A and B are shown apart, each in its own frame.
Chain A
């Protein structure tokens, strides 16, 4: 009997070397859903940072995407908890995290950081930004939609210059609070992994920083992607000046991100601590496609080259080519950051904590942790974003002064830079 079980275990190619018996299950404990969780949260944080470039750092070129970035952040934030919730063994007990949060657990703080970020930062900033629009739209829009706008004013219908000025001031303060909050939101996600000292792939002080930087990168890329898709759907001219600015920020963020990730690798290779051999083997064999090709080549090298060359020779590149290069880079960055999350989450579970063996992983199609579920969860924020755009960035709504001031992709770009 023993011999039979042994041969069966040997035939299955899932393990090489020795793994602890409890690690020999059919799937890693944290699957594709937990890959999506830091990915989506990162997009939120990044999109918010992108929006605050306008509000706090007064980057006027980016005004056309200000509201789009905030709505993107909101749509993704609303979905950020779903992958976590679905992967729980007992989703019905999820409220315990809020009721009896264990303060030494980085995961317990999630409920609070999330609630703070959603309600105290993002929703409030959106509200202050939109309030006078809501008041005006409520007057001109009939039916259910009008009622919705009316409800969203929460009964504050004062649109006097003094009230609007207060809105702007409070929105600005919220933006300033929002930047550290966005860092907190995603840095803490990095800390969930970085705090696991049992796992040499995760337990790393740089983990939160890497997560924040890659979040900024992915968030800007998502804004580029969304802005270009939205203008394409609406058959509107693109504000190339805005695109150039986003490309520039994307490039610099990418360079900083790549530098810090490179530093992380350099440190790992140089210090070559316990378990380095198994990590090395894993990076070479098990994670070759997602790490070397996905994360390093598609996610970092190619976009850096494309965007970097645009920084140097932007004026001599025709506009259409430039647009395509931006779109391509943004898309590659989005894929690359997803690959990076995969490498962290799945990679950390592909080797045994005995440091004597590696496991395999094949993504299934169906099931809670399968492809299909992942695709649904990834498209859900886009569906929410579509609804948000229909409601709050609709072309049929009157353009108010606030929208003008805050920037709005509905507006024609004031001047299209032609070179």
Chain B
């Protein structure tokens, strides 16, 4: 009785395995065919992600708060209207310390009306009472140890070999874990596609030799962009690091952002 059961079992399993292998081969062939059609449908020719390392840097001293980058990003990436930003500009207004208080730096008043897309209104403090004021463009910090990638349950967000941190919109399940894990508030759940979204460094542009949309339109060269593996003569990224003392956002979290800021104040976070 027992041997009969096991023999039947073994035979059944062998048959199942054989059928499985046959279907698997067919499925693999079909998949490969689909993939071929897809790849020839417009992916850039000859782009090898392992031969590039893209990076952006921000010079706060140069940002004039015009909001062109925010607007360009929304247009280029079809970012929905409302509180959804792949990049945005924050305005920091640090009031003068009250006379006799003997404090050195008062808490900054920060705002970002509509992400700074349409510029900034009059500051919340009279001009005479402002000690310091500046704009800080924010974007994905391209962390070396990205907490968002670490927590994604399905591998829908990832560090690419060429230095971007991307989200696969056709694989993201929309759980929102990465949005919670990003310390910089750079991610949002797209209300239309129901997937997480963030700055891609305009991956569809940089793979074709174009600059990201925000860098393209920035009138004051506050956003510096380049390829570490293919430096151009007089490379802007190289120059940026040679000429500035740089800082990253929230360094204590150990995410090691690759996006650095020049001219940053302690109030920025």
Contacts and interface: CB of A to CB of B under 8 A. Distances in A.
Interface stretch (A59-67, A89-97, A126-134, A179-187): A89-97
Interface string B28-42: 000000000000000
B8 to A, nearest CB: 14
Contact of A198 (B120, B153, B195, B253): B253
A408 B181 CA distance: 46
Given A88-B175, A105-B150, A198-B147, A100 B155 contact: yes
Given A29-B179, A107-B151, A197-B147, A18 B194 contact: no
Interface stretch (B48-56, B185-193, B223-231, B236-244): B185-193
Interface residues on B, range: 35 or more
B85 interface: yes
A22 B172 contact: no
Interface string A78-109: 00000010011111011011001110111110
A90 B115 contact: no
Interface residues of A, number: 49
B84 interface: yes
A2 B118 contact: yes
Nearest to A353: B185
Nearest to A98: B154
A22 B186 contact: yes
B180 A29 contact: yes
Contacts of B247: none
Contacts of B252: 274
B83 A5 contact: no
B118 A88 contact: no
Contacts of B179: 22, 29
A1 interface: yes
Contact of A97 (B110, B113, B118, B153): B153
Counting chain B CB atoms within 10 Å of each CB, which of A25, A105, A352 scores highest?
A105
A18 B113 CA distance: 10
Given A18-B112, A90-B172, A105-B153, A6 B121 contact: yes
A100 B195 contact: no
Interface string B93-123: 0000000000000000111111100111100
Contacts of A197: 147, 183, 253-254
Is the contact region of chain A dominated by helix, strand, or loop, or is it mixed? Answer: loop
B261 interface: no
A196 interface: yes
Contacts of B153: 96-97, 101-102, 105, 107-108, 110
Interface in B115-137: 115, 118-121
A354 B110 contact: yes
B177 interface: yes
Given A22-B186, A29-B179, A199-B180, A89 B154 contact: no
Interface in A1-57: 1-3, 5-6, 9, 18, 20-25, 29-30
Contacts of B189: 29, 89
Contacts of B7: none
Nearest to B188: A22
B194 A90 contact: yes
Interface string B166-208: 0000011111110111111111110001111000000000000
Contact of A353 (B175, B176, B183): B183
A93 B189 CA distance: 16
Nearest to B86: A22
Contact of B182 (A21, A106, A198): A198
